[in-house]
Structure 1
């Protein structure tokens, strides 16, 4: 595989495939394999009697390094390596699926099919959606679309353009571990510490880039850029996560819709920090404009990352 194919052509085609087709649902997805591997790791660690915190940290580094090495090995297969690299790059991006599923969920909310809407939104979030009304569903959708824009697309694309498919899947491995183990519950508080902290570190730069790109993508769209510039950094720092609040707070102020407040996770109510103007309820038009903004922000990220990070990776 040539350097130029790896650095420029594969990311470009991967973004195009993701935009056109979304997740490759009918093909073997690496995340499912990683998830199955992590389930086996958890059972093995718990059965072994190892210190959970130490074992969790070791698993993060060994698993991510192993995945990176495997991807590099597969991409060096003669003739097939380029296609494998392209598929893995495409499968690691999730903007197409996020935008499609978000629009589908919003359509169900606005057609007053709330049972189906709750199910659709639950597929995008880890919180309990069973008792949410239309207003709460719109807010939940706005929160998850803005947060997952970074987690599901901008950050993976950042590592794809900078480090290739191997780097992308090392990041995705850590992100998957965080989504499975990174909860402050009795079960995962120790085992998941390494995954949560490493994911925080790896997503730190992309999350802030996502916020800046959202501000740029909002130019000329009639959104409240002035308030967003003044308020989003202060609001972002309220969040427990060092990264999630950046795209969320930016979206909240640009669209002038409130985020945060009491939220049910695993049967327990958690009072999340307030982002955006208090008391501003999300309506259908605001939610639709946010989804469109996130889609455009993803496109802008591709236009910036592929040439700029590609050139950086060639130089360094």
Structure 2
């Protein structure tokens, strides 16, 4: 009894301390609904065969990083870069530096804008990635262990600063034709984002616990890579939302301004989307589990488990940024389909 009473008193004191700024007249600002943060600027891809849900963003290539294998070459090597719809392309001149032995075996080479020729500041409107073609003249062979493209997004001034995007093109093995010495061989690779993938939320599945609520409930979903977040009120005019012991399925169309949001999710480490559940009023809410279903840019489907939430006001009104809010990093208990 004494221990339970002590814990209760401690919680009450902590709650009162949390409300202290409000009691002193200090304004506690609430994070507004809708999208916020940096990241790429997405817009309709356009085109006859493009659906309204197809979203693209613009990038400018800034650097190529090439890890050579044991098979280098002294012959001329060029690169051709295309958007994933292949409508926009450019070709570099021969990638060569007077101060180094280019394309030599086991070398790590970095080619920046000054080597790009017609590709300098070329804008590519892409949906999923870029295509890069390496080509060379002559009969010598060339082996590349890995090739990465670094690019910058096209921002919106101070409200949307530029962000680095990285694309993994994989391995290349070209050359070895036995005909004329001036023959050209090439290999094209599709370059995917790495080590992250863009994902869209399709469904938020909520299992409400024994304590439902009639208060306004909001969710916030954030990337675990950058500052991109989106916050939305979740409700329906046709049903009793957030009812105790209810299983509620909120589709992308229920997410308001957060519909069609693209979130970067890191695939190199365990983790996932950052999720926050919040509410107003004095009516407490318990949730047994929340599962977020997403689809990645390359078609894989993921499920992120957020676990349980308890939003308790202790009989006091919820104060934005102070109480009645709980955040978690979601985990992936399921492999993609």
Looking at secondary structure, tell me which structure has more strand per residue.
2
TM-score under structure 1 length normalisation: 0.24
Looking at secondary structure, tell me which structure has more helix per residue.
1
TM-score under structure 2 length normalisation: 0.23
Q: Highest Rg: 1 or 2?
A: 2
Higher relative contact order (CA 8 A, sep 6+): 1
